[in-house]
Structure 1
Amino acid sequence: MVTISLDAMGGDFGPRVVIPGAAKALERYPDIKFVIYGDETECLSALNEFPKLEASCEFVACEIAIGMDEKPSQALRRGRYKSSMWQAIDAVKAGHADAAVSAGNTGALMAMALFCLRTLANIERPALAGVWPTLKGESIVLDVGATIGADAQQLVDFSIMGAAMSRSLFELKRPSVGLLNVGVEEVKGLDEIREAGRLLREANVDTLDYTGFVEGDDIGKGTVDVVVTEGFTGNIALKTAEGTARQFAELLRSAMSRSLFAKIGYLFAKSAFNRLREKTDPRKVNGAVFLGLNGIVIKSHGGTDAEGIAAAIAVAYDMARNKLNQKIEDDLKKYHAKRVPPPANVQHESGVE
């Protein structure tokens, strides 16, 4: 059995979407056990509509639900120990659950998860990793918003963690990894990115295949299995992709309604358009993972529907079943065990490197 703690109050729609999503996930993965946290009246009313889920889950009533617009510090002060979000995370810390899932406020979830679970050894800051649809299938992109700014060593750690996630989710033996940059040439980019590239080349990590720098258009192409960047750039890339997907959907809808022939053509191609929408809708391609914590926490899109919640739960299930954190810990230990720190206070005679 894989036990998943579920924050039923998270997201734009709360139990009205989270509970049906859990019911869908249970149909697909009968070996899931849920511990559901939330408002007693709302959650039990929703659970009554799904007898199979109600019979097989444990419900814990919570006094507080974290709002989508609350500041992380405010949410932490108000919701620590008492909120559905905190208790879902704390269940992982206590060993009562293998993974936690929430569609709630990203900043609050990050703050609570970091405060409650702490980070793994050798990890200074966690990263938020998302599954990205590509022309070749799917890739992992991190960080998409957890850590703003990152030094070279943090980017290397992100690479190792992203590769471990790719191995867990896609069952790849040695995922290809690229650092997001303004060009593929080694002389381009910020110092931190170029230094991270040097460290990855020299380390020759056996759990990943570092291929060099990748550019923004390589994300959608699926050039590599794992794209690594820091949270500021990654979040802009994510929001840009989501906005572009909605823009093209609106343009397509408008074009298809301009004439009778266009409407008839749409009817013939409707199934193809539906598949395209499912492939690119960020609410459907759902389930970002906080990597680097002492426990598995999954962030679902706040505006998703029941199908999206089920998708996020599926990611949690795969991460727990394939022992993601154990892979990350083992890979980090291997890397840091053979890592040679740079010599201190090295002076260059010319003053120029």
Structure 2
Amino acid sequence: MKIAVDAMGGDHAPKVVIDGLLRARDEYPDLEFIVYGDEAQVKPLISDDTRITLVHTNEQIDGNDEPVKAVRRKKQASMVLSAQAVKNGEADAVFSLGSTGALLAAGLFIVGRIKGIDRPGLMPTLPTVDGKGFIMLDVGANAEGKAQQLLNYAVMGDFYARDLRGLKNPRVALLNNGSEPHKGDTLHQETYQLLENLDSINFIGNIEADQLLKGVADVVVTDGFTGNAALKAIEGTAKTILKLVKGAIYDTGIKGKLGGLLLKDGIKGIASTFDVSSYGGAVLLGLKAPVVKAHGGADADAVYYTIKQIHEMVQNDTVGKVQSYFARQDDDLA
């Protein structure tokens, strides 16, 4: 399988991209890469180009570019060329650390949507206290949503959880401001009814935000605005708590440092629980091929785990299963 890689996206590109890529290449003999980026910067980082094709371009999309305009105008940008490789059948998936908005635009306009999906959703894997994690979508691909779109997210999330999380019967929940079926606005009430009547998933009802990290659901469905707010709250809280713990140890003198030494393993465990780099990147579900984004500040380990995630998606044909499902739904309506 081939993965098209935007080597120029992210805060620490291209070094972390290539370092993580090389580790994945060495571990998976069936992986090949088409790497798009500035040859002068990228080539010196590749000590062994086995199963790596480097395509030179010095054009890239940065965070200041308006996403849709940039994708349409910067035809030779590394991200655009990566998406084009998938459209042309030269690669099976796209990987980038670049602008989320631009990657969504490239996915929509170049890779294309699955028939029956009008709004792809952005789906990361987030931590839980038991270390198993959960997936949530949408977390920002779309500011607004419709009940049918959230239903589609539930279906796609269910396929992903089965294929990549190894769950036989994933628990699917709807993020809402109360656990009762009648809670929420019209969107959430309509979505609840649709999910409750969908036999193909294990819908467990509404979930409130304070339950997210407790591991009570495997797939959490929400609109993009709410999902993004919840995501940022989780990320910000985790970073703040870890900072406060470190401060309590190092800023309270010798006693604090001695206590920290005794609690060292426990603190490492907490940090590990909230370190989501091993879960891989955020997937744009609803496109005709895997389009996956790692965080802009990702390190080489996060790149490696994201490529590993893409490998599993392609190997399991997760996108193909989603396409087949919605094709059957379309046939049933015809």
TM-score by shorter chain over 0.5:
yes
Corresponding residue number in structure 2 for 1:272 = 266
CA distance in 2, matches of 1:338, 1:261: 69
Using the alignment, how far apart are the partners of 1:335 and 1:203 within structure 2? 12
Post-superposition shift, 1:281? 3.0
Verify the 8 A CA contact 2:6 2:78 in the aligned structure 1: yes
The offset of 1:276, in angstroms, is: 2.5
Q: How does 1:165-180 map to 2 (within 5 A)?
A: 165-180=160-175
Unaligned runs of 5+ in 1: 341-353
Separation of aligned partners in 2, 1:204 and 1:336: 17
Over the aligned positions, Cα root-mean-square deviation in angstroms equals 1.7
Aligned residue number for residue 186 of structure 2: 191
Amino acid at match of 1:188: K
- Amino acid in the other structure paired with 2:197: E
Partner of 2:41: 42
Q: Does 1:163 align with 2:162?
A: no
Greater alpha carbon shift after TM alignment, 10-19 vs 195-204: 195-204
Q: C-alpha separation between the residues in 2 aligned to 1:279 and 1:27?
A: 27
The amino acid of 1:321's aligned partner reads Q
Indicate the percent of aligned positions where both proteins have the same amino acid.
38
TM-score w.r.t. structure 1 length? Answer: 0.89
User: 1:239 aligns to what?
Assistant: 232
User: 1:140 aligned to 2:135?
Assistant: yes
Give yes or no for contact 2:8–2:78 (8 Å, CA) kept in 1. yes
**Of 285, 295, 309, the match for 1:315:** 309
Q: Distance in 2 between matches of 1:315 and 1:294?
A: 17
Structure 2 gaps, min length 5 = none
* 2:76 is aligned with 1:77: no
Amino acid at match of 1:116: I
SS in 2 for 1:55: coil
Alpha-carbon separation, structure 2, partners of 1:57 and 1:192: 47
Q: Is the 8 A contact 1:203 1:339 kept in 2?
A: no
In the TM superposition, 1:120-139 aligns within 5 A as 120-136=114-130, 137-139=132-134
1:1-353 aligned at under 5 Å gives the runs: 2-47=1-46, 50-51=47-48, 54-80=49-75, 82-136=76-130, 137-205=132-200, 208-257=201-250, 258-283=252-277, 285-335=279-329
Change (3 A) 1:262 1:312: same
Contact 2:280 2:308 in 1 (8 A): no
Q: Is the partner of 2:263 in helix, strand or coil?
A: helix
Q: 1:26: Cα distance to partner?
A: 2.3
Deviation sequence 1:281-335 (CA, Å, 0-9, x none): 3555430100111111001100111111111111111111111111112232444
Q: Which has the larger displacement, 26-35 or 140-149?
A: 26-35
Matched letter for residue 21 of structure 1: G
Higher deviation after alignment, 100-109 or 84-93: 84-93
